[in-house]
Every structure is written in C-alpha cells, then in structure tokens.
Chain A
Amino acid sequence: MTVLRLAGLVKRFGANPVLRGIDLTVERGERIAILGASGSGKSTLLRCINFMELPDEGRVEFGGQVVGSERDGRRRYAERELTQIRRQVGMVFQHFNLFPHMTALGNVMEGPLTVLGQDRVQAEARGRAELARVGLADKADAYPAHLSGGQKQRVAIARALAMDPALLLFDEPTSALDPALVGEVLGTIRALAEDGRTMLLVTHELGFAYHVASRVLFLADGLIHEQGTPAEVLKEPRQAATRAFIASHKQFSL
C-alpha cells in the first residue's frame, strides 16, 4: 500500500530553488533515510510533506488522495485539509520543540486531547502508554526543563506516536544531542522500525541508516541525486557527490 507519493515537487524560497523536482513513492513499512549536505533541502522536503511549507509546484498524494485542488493552473491548499494531513503525519524535530509549560505526560496527551478531541481519561491512558513505549513511564510528571536531551527527544517521539500517525518524519533527531545520549534515541527509533512503522529519517548517522533503513536517498542540488539500498548507496555509491559526502563522514564504519 502506498502511503505517500511525491511527483515533481518544487519549492523555492524567493529566488532560491531549494527543491527542483522531487519524485518519491513511499510504501507502507518503508524506512527511508535521507542524506545530504547542510542546506541541501532535507528539512524543506520533510516540511513540504506535512505542508508546514507549501510546495510551489508538483503534487503530493497522501493515502491515495491528491492533496489540494487545481485552479487557474495552480494548486491551492485549504488550511482545513492540511491540518487533517498533519494529524496523520508525525514529525520529530532536531530541537524537540516540546511544550515547556506542560509535563512530559501533558505533552504526549496534548494531541489526543486538543486535536483528536478525546476525553481526559482516554488521552491520559494513551499518553502513559506512549511514554512507557519510549521507556519514560517514570518521567510522566517531569517538565521538559528537568529532562536530558535524550529524554526530551523520546518524549517528542511519544508525542508524535500518540496521534497514530501513518507516517513518521524525523528531522535530524540526534543532531542536537550530546554524543552520550544519541544511543538511547536511536534505540527508540530502531524499535519503531522493527514495529513496521513507515518513516522518513533525515540523519547524519550513516551507520544507523545502514542498519535500519530499507532505502537511502542522497539529496543534492534540489534533486534526489542517488538512491538505493543502504549497501548500494553507502558502500558502492555511483555518484561522485555521494562518494564525497560519505567520505566526509569519517567516523562512519559499517
């Protein structure tokens, strides 16, 4: 079953063409690692998928439905439709973006409570279950300020999971963490992968991508420069740019 299909996706910021025509099909259960140099448009790609940025051209199909409607040769997006899509797409950010005025449990309950309209009892049960899944059942009443970076990111993952997303987007989830805390977050993501979750993961952890991803994309010049299985892209890259990128990650050992 196809979860997501992008066709000819273009995004510009002013005169800066960040994405120049991305075609991508994501099947259920796929785990796609997205690599690319800083500024190559990885975040922009993820943000176009959940419409935090509106694509300038191209089509996004979500669950078989084309998003937006064509009018006067341009695609128009209704806010209500986009909100509906974001409910089904979970996003995890580099800087967590937890709500500092809510406890860990409050953060995880917030989606079910406010967005899905569940009652408190139901939302709390769901929140506690998701916190337990990421190994933080005992931190339910802690505020983000009192959590480590790794714990914050796991709460953020639980917050996304509480919405039952059909697709998970991770934008460099370990880049802001102390090296010592990276492992616990990668472990959590790996467990989700083993659960069969569909995910797109922007990362610089090439070793993790190699072991966990089902497919690897290399983004350059606003295009998917190269893609394939982890072994193909990471071990025998065909493109010079991909080779240079992988060589620059010296700590990468398979």
Chain B
Amino acid sequence: MRWDFATVIEHADVLAIGAVGTLRIFAICLVLGLGLGLPVGLGRYARNPWLRAPATAFVEFFRNTPVLVQIIWFFFALPILLPFQIGPLTAAVLGISLNSAAFSAEIYRGGIQSIERGQWDGARALGMSWLQAMRRVILPQAIKRMLPALANRAIEIFKMSTLASAVAYVELLQQGKLIASLYYNPIEVYTAVAAIFSVILWPLVQLSYWLERRLKGGE
C-alpha cells in the first residue's frame, strides 16, 4: 500500500483544534483531579469515621467503575435526573476528574502515611494544630515523595482525555475520526494522532523519570 500523509497535513488545522481541545480538558482534569484528591486523601486518613467513611466510599466507587462508563453516564443518564443539560466537556471532565481524584487520593494518603511519626511529634510538641502540622511539616515532605506518582497520574489523565471522544467532545482523537471518516485514510490519520500524543507526552514522561531518579538519589 501507499502512505498518503498529504491529506493529513492538509487538514493539520483540524488536528490543531483537536490538540487545543485535548490540552484544555487535560488542564481542567489535572487541576480538579489532583486538587480534589487531596481532601479525599486526607479524609481517607482521618481518624473521624464521619470523614473517613464517605472518603472511602468515594475512592472505592470511582476506582471500581470504568471512566468511559462514568463519562457516558454523566452525559446520557444524569441529565434525565437534572433540570438542565450537560455538555460533552462537562461530562468528560466529571468522569475523568472524579476517577483521578480517587486514584490520587490514594497517592496522597500513602505519601502522608510514609512520613515518620517523629515528624508529627516534633510538630505537635511545638503546639501546632493538626492543620498547621499538616501544612508546614507533613505535606511539604510528603509531596516531594509523591511527585513521581503524581506525574504518572498526570500522564494517565492526558491519555484518558481521549475517552471524551465517546461523547463527541472536540479533541485530538475525535478530530482524527472526523478526517478519517471523510477521506477514508484511517491508517495515516490515527498514526498521526498517536505521533502527536507521543510528542506532547514525551517531556511529561521524561519529567516523571527524572523525578523518580531524584527521589531514589535523595533517600
């Protein structure tokens, strides 16, 4: 067969629009997913059962359902229960962010638990409240240890963004589908899409390697 990338390059602008869409949903889900994960992770760690039980239920539920099912549920099922419509972006953001929050909550919890008891003792003996100890002593050390795992989570979020194409959100894969359906060139288009993903993700993956190496060196 003959490769025909000319058509793909001709429609680079369509893919560019998709790339912008991918970056947008990635940015939103990164902030929401990792941000929401922290309170959930703290809840998982709390001694108070009124905080711990809902946090545990949240983590269990979102870890045990496929993100694609969640996105489709938010897009097609939730609007039936609500008096308003939910757009593709919102549905995809909900699915991906909540799932990421559940996974990153476990990273936060593990990171916080990895800090020695003596650090709590040192902070508490000074008269710090729980929140002060967490903010000034525990989290700064825990975050450093969690960075490689959080970077991996960011990579996962980036890849998960393609699931938004299931509800026709305009992102890279969705735009690729569009070109492929018009010009019958799926091999070239999807190869190009994969290549673009790989190029965008490359620095992020390198960053995660670097963080892992640095952590090993520091211990």
Q: Point out residues on A near B: beta carbons under 8 Å.
A: 50, 52, 79, 83-84, 86-91, 93, 95-101, 110-111, 114-115, 156, 159-160, 163
Minimal Cβ-Cβ distance residue in B for A159: B126
Chain A residue contacts of B132, Cβ below 8 A: 114-115
Q: Could you count the A-B residue pairs with CB atoms below 8 Å apart for me: how many are there? A: 60
Contact between A111 and B127, CB atoms less than 8 A apart: yes
Taking A110-B136, A114-B132, A114-B136 as contacts, is the C-beta distance between A97 and B122 under 8 angstroms? yes
Q: How far is the CA of A90 from the CA of B126 in the complex (A)?
A: 7
Whether A101 touches B125, Cβ cut-off 8 Å, given contacts A114-B132, A114-B136, A115-B132, is no
Cβ-based interface call for B141 (8 A): yes
Pairs across A and B, CB under 8 Å, 7 listed = A79-B130, A86-B124, A87-B127, A91-B125, A93-B122, A97-B122, A114-B136
Pick from A84, A93, A115: contact of B118, CB under 8 Å: A93
Residues from chain A with Cβ under 8 Å of B113 in the complex: none
The reply to whether B124 and A52 contact each other, CB–CB distance below 8 Å, is yes
Within the complex, what minimum Cβ distance (angstroms) separates B117 from chain A?
9
CA distance A156 to B128 in the complex (A): 16
Sorting the interface of chain B by its residue count into under 10, 10 to 19, 20 to 34 or 35 or more gives: 10 to 19
Contact A99 B127 (CB under 8 A): no
Within 8 A of A (CB), among B123-156: 123-130, 132, 136-137, 140-141, 144
Indicate which residue in A79, A84, A86 contacts B125 across the interface (CB closer than 8 Å): A86
Query: If the complex has contacts A99-B137, A110-B136, A114-B136, are A84 and B122 also in contact, measured as CB distance less than 8 A?
Result: no
Docked-complex contact B126 and A84, CB < 8 angstroms: no
Complexed CA–CA distance, A164 and B202 (Å): 53
> Which B residues touch A115, using CB under 8 A?
126-128, 132
